[in-house]
Amino acid sequence: MPLSTLPVPNRWTRDQHTANMVSPENHTNGQATTLTPELTYFTANPKPTTLDQGLHQARTFIQHHASSNRRVALVTSGGTTVPLENQTVRFIDNFSAGTRGATSAEYFLQAGYAVIFLHRQFSLLPYSRHYSHSTNCFLDFMTANAEGKVVVEDEYQSQMSKVLKQYEKAKRERTLLLLPFTTVNDYLWHLRSIAEAMQPLGANALFYLAAAVSDFFVPAARMVEHKIQSSEDFHRTSAAAVVDNSATKLPAAHMEGKSLIIDLDPVPKFLKVLVDGWAPEAMIVSFKLETDPSLLAEKARYALKKYAHHLVIGNLLNTRKWEVLFVSVAEGENWVRVEQGLAGNGAEAGDDGSGKKDATVEIESLIVPEVARMHVMMIDNCASSA
């Protein structure tokens, strides 16, 4: 049975999205609700066609593990695309391969968590990541024996059998659910739905938000339907090309003469909504990526204060596989580092732009137990104050 296949769920009878949507008529305590971009986003941008099926699997998975009081981590992983056209030919993307997320998911499983792995389609996956990287092709691990049967090369037997055992355990115990997304819109809809579905887990829920989510997007109302024509001979009038003709602005991506102009809207900041509304009892861990070392700690502190969640893990593009900065209210600032000398040839050779090879010790093997320790402390605190 594939990892993502689980029996049919038996509850969840109403559409929580509709219930939670705020229309201009909605009022709270007799007062009109201010329509922030976070509140209007889901009425203005379409629900992905894959959402219902994914959510169906997520609910079954959550119920199964809630009944055995297991901690459940939602691990988000990989980059998001920003389509420029509705029938998408062109899109904006980012660098993330999903290494952090896929590797962390394995260590969460090892720590006894059930993991919902919300990942960018075709990015790295737990377990198969050891053999799917372009510099780590699975074919290089195989050979044909004397009888012509395909077997694993002797030198890889022990490492491969270790990974295979862990993979089979996750399948057998149904502790890993793989859910893919592609666009930033897919990601946001999935995040909200899964977060709401995880509410029954209470403090046993953990959000580990390692995905590199775009800060900018093309709202549905400013998205052209068809491929943007680069040739001036085929330019249509821009307003007619917009899906929603009530939009007063030009399409977000359009030609002006020979130039492609892209004018993106900011993606609403959903972390605050997640913390306060979608997952009020869960532990929430966000990641902050920077390239300028002098900004990292300040930006991580800023995010922690602004969103009032539990932990920000700061990392720099070029050193993210060797060191990360934990920033939390409970424990202040702490660097987590792979010991010098353990940086060398790893099982997974990746180019992170630093010129170094991956570490022998994966930094996620240090990050995840720390996060799990903080999560257990939080659960204990909740229990003792209940």
Which parts of this chain interact with ligand PAZ (CB under 6 A)? 96-100, 210, 212-213, 287-289, 315, 320
- C-beta closer to ligand PAZ: residue 66 or 295: 295
Alpha-helical segments (H) within the chain: 16-20, 37-44, 51-67, 99-110, 129-132, 157-172, 184-197, 238-241, 270-273, 293-307, 364-385
Residue 95 Cβ vs ligand PAZ, minimum distance, rounded to whole Å: 6
Query: Do residues 1 and 48 make contact, with C-beta atoms less than 8 angstroms apart?
Result: no
Local structure of residue 79 (DSSP, 8 states): B
- C-beta closer to ligand PAZ: residue 96 or 193: 96
Local structure of residue 176 (DSSP, 8 states): E
- C-beta closer to ligand PAZ: residue 61 or 108: 108
Residue 102 Cβ vs ligand PAZ, minimum distance, rounded to whole Å: 8
293: which residues sit within 8 A by CB, 6+ positions away? 316
Parallel/antiparallel/unpaired status of strands 27-28 and 31-32: antiparallel
Residue 296 Cβ vs ligand PAZ, minimum distance, rounded to whole Å: 10
Query: Do residues 75 and 116 make contact, with C-beta atoms less than 8 angstroms apart?
Result: yes
Residue 76 Cβ vs ligand PAZ, minimum distance, rounded to whole Å: 9
- C-beta closer to ligand PAZ: residue 45 or 319: 319
* Three-state SS at 222: helix
Residue 293 Cβ vs ligand PAZ, minimum distance, rounded to whole Å: 14
- C-beta closer to ligand PAZ: residue 361 or 382: 361
User: What phi and psi values does residue 321 have, to the nearest 5 degrees?
Assistant: -90, -5
- C-beta closer to ligand PAZ: residue 211 or 378: 211
Number of CB atoms found within 10 A of residue 45's CB: 19
Residue 63 Cβ vs ligand PAZ, minimum distance, rounded to whole Å: 29
